[in-house]
């Protein structure tokens, strides 16, 4: 019997490379489904509707809230971001691990609904690396880098709310370590309730059928 999938949240500082790690996890391993969020922000160059995000208006976003279609949603800077619940529930039932790449407020909301969700925070190997990655190819202004570091400072306050940290030194290695953890977590009792119940019922039935047989201890 396939264990129920893990609901996995991946967060991390802006610039830490969590998108690359998630991409590596999805492309090098099987058994995962990546949740595509809705956002009210405009697509960045190269981003595709339906692949990176579903790009919708604030009005559409508000209607989805009213219809209860989000598993969680949050404001981030000037925009709304939300996880459509239907896809997540369906893929978990199919036995896939569902990955949500979301920020910390959303992560905490999911944890309240799904206490068994696995919360992972991606860390840089050291501060210098984070600063260099934030600076990127030098296209960011000093102000933007400062603003992102300020946001990182606020986010760093919440790291202990997560279950695991993984250091993104080399993205593929980091993805492989996460993969090994998630495979192990499939052995949790909480992921195998249906199987446990099935065996328990079979034992109970056998016990009842043989209640009067004194040769069975
Ligand atoms: P960006 O605009 O850079 O793509 O995303 C900004 C932040 O929003 C990132 O930290 C990203 O992980 C987070 N985010 C993306 N989708 C969702 C979502 O559905 N819910 C929440 N709570 N955060 C999200």
Which tens digit of pLDDT belongs to each residue from 52-84?
Answer: 999 999 999 999 999 999 999 998 878 899 999
Query: Of 116, 96, 101, 123, which is closest to residue 177 (Cα–Cα)?
Result: 123
Tell how strand 97-101 and strand 32-34 pair up: parallel
**φ, ψ of residue 212 in degrees (nearest 5):** -100, 5
Distance CA 107, CA 123 (A): 16
Q: Is 54 in the pocket of ligand 1 (CB under 6 A)?
A: no
Long-range contacts of 184-191 (CB under 8 A, 24+ apart): 185/6, 185/118, 186/3, 186/6, 187/3, 188/116, 190/116, 191/3, 191/4, 191/5, 191/6, 191/116
Number of continuous H segments (helices) and E segments (strands) in the chain: 8, 9
**φ, ψ of residue 56 in degrees (nearest 5):** -130, 165
User: Digits of tens for pLDDT over the chain (217 positions)?
Assistant: 777 899 999 999 988 999 999 999 999 999 999 999 999 999 988 999 999 999 999 999 999 999 999 999 998 878 899 999 999 999 999 999 999 999 999 999 999 999 999 999 999 999 999 888 877 756 567 776 777 788 788 888 999 999 999 999 999 999 999 999 999 999 999 889 999 999 999 999 999 999 888 776 6
Q: Work out which ligand 1 atom sits closest to the CA atom of 53.
A: 16
Distance CA 57, CA 51 (A): 17
Q: Is 121 in the pocket of ligand 1 (CB under 6 A)?
A: no
Q: Is 106 in the pocket of ligand 1 (CB under 6 A)?
A: yes
CA of 2 to the centre of ligand 1 (A): 30
91, 33 contact by CB (below 8 A) = yes
Mind listing the pLDDT tens digit for each residue in 156-170? 899 999 999 999 999
């Amino acid at each position: 019997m396939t264990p129920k999938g893990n609901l996995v949240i991946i967060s991390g500082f802006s610039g830490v490379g969590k998108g690359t790690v998630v991409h590596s996890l999805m492309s090098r391993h099987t058994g995962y489904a990546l949740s595509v969020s809705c956002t009210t922000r405009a697509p960045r160059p190269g981003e595709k509707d339906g692949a990176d995000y579903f790009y919708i208006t604030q009005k559409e976003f508000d209607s989805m809230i009213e219809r209860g279609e989000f598993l969680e949603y949050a404001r981030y800077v000037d925009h709304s971001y939300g996880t459509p619940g239907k896809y997540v529930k369906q893929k978990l039932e199919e036995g896939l691990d569902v990955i949500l790449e979301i920020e910390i407020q959303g992560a905490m909301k999911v944890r309240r609904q799904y206490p068994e969700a696995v919360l992972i925070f991606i860390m840089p190997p050291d501060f210098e690396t984070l600063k260099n990655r934030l600076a990127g190819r030098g296209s960011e202004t000093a102000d933007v880098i400062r603003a992102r570091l300020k946001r990182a400072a606020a986010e760093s306050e919440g790291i202990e709310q997560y279950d695991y940290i993984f250091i993104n030194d080399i993205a593929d290695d980091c993805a492989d370590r996460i993969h090994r953890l998630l495979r192990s977590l499939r052995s949790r009792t909480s992921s195998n309730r249906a199987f446990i119940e099935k065996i328990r019922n079979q034992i109970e039935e056998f016990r009842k059928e043989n209640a009067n047989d004194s040769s069975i201890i």
